[in-house]
Structure 1
Amino acid sequence: MWTKHHKKRKLGRFVMPLLTVAFLSYFGYHSVHGEFGLKATERLDRQRTERQARLNELTRQRVTLEKEVALLSDGSLERDMLDEKARFGLNMSRTDEIVIFH
């Protein structure tokens, strides 16, 4: 029966912990800085809130414009609305009028 005697090396007991540290470091770094990491998630949340605010503003403007168009093209044309738009577009008023822009 043949037996081999191996000398125990001090370096051998550090291999597994070094591999573990390397593995955890790699995945830890990419979980924070990667394409789907924490920083990317924060950036996407910030963009989402900014774009939601912009969408709400544009929706409000659209509703306002739709109301004005409905007044102008309802079949029964509102004379006051037509007069207001014409004066605003031409930047004209009579001398006895007071103009308040809002």
Structure 2
Amino acid sequence: MSTRQKKIRKTGRLFIPIIAIAFISYFGFHSIHGDRGMRAMQRFEVRKAQLELRLAELVEDRKKLQRQVKLLPSNGPVVRDMLDERAREALNLSRPNEIVIFDFN
């Protein structure tokens, strides 16, 4: 009578840990470097800060324009200084004794 014995291979014992390490490595890498990972989150935060600064600038510009619009009457007399300023700006004219300061904000 003979019995067959199975030979236990060391490679069989390593199969599941190797697969587990591969999955952990894959998901770990993508949690840091992926499209929604930690580095992407940092880039989004920087972009958000830039856009918030731009929004603050635009809000200030809008308030400035709203103040200028309030000076222009809808049905009453036109404020002389505002009319003079708009005409000079539209026609690109100035008096000889005036100093022109360009504001590019």
Give TM class, smaller chain. 0.7 to 0.9
Whether 2:58 is the aligned partner of 1:58: answer: yes
TM-fit CA distance, 1:81: 1.3
Which residue identity lines up with residue 78 of structure 1 in the other structure?
V
- Counterpart of 2:5? 5
- Counterpart of 2:14? 14
**Structure 2 CA distance, aligned partners of 1:13 and 1:61?**
69
Whether 2:43 is the aligned partner of 1:43: answer: yes
Q: Normalization by structure 1: what TM-score?
A: 0.80
TM-fit CA distance, 1:16: 2.3
- Counterpart of 1:92? 93
TM-fit CA distance, 1:52: 1.0
> Please, which runs of 5 or more residues in structure 2 have no aligned partner?
none
Count of matched residue pairs = 99
Superposition CA RMSD, Å:
2.1
- Counterpart of 2:24? 24
- Counterpart of 1:80? 81
TM-fit CA distance, 1:58: 0.8
Which residue identity lines up with residue 34 of structure 1 in the other structure?
G
Q: Normalization by structure 2: what TM-score?
A: 0.78
CA offsets per residue over residues 38-86 of structure 1, 9 Å max, x none? Answer: 1221221121111111111111111111111111135442111111221
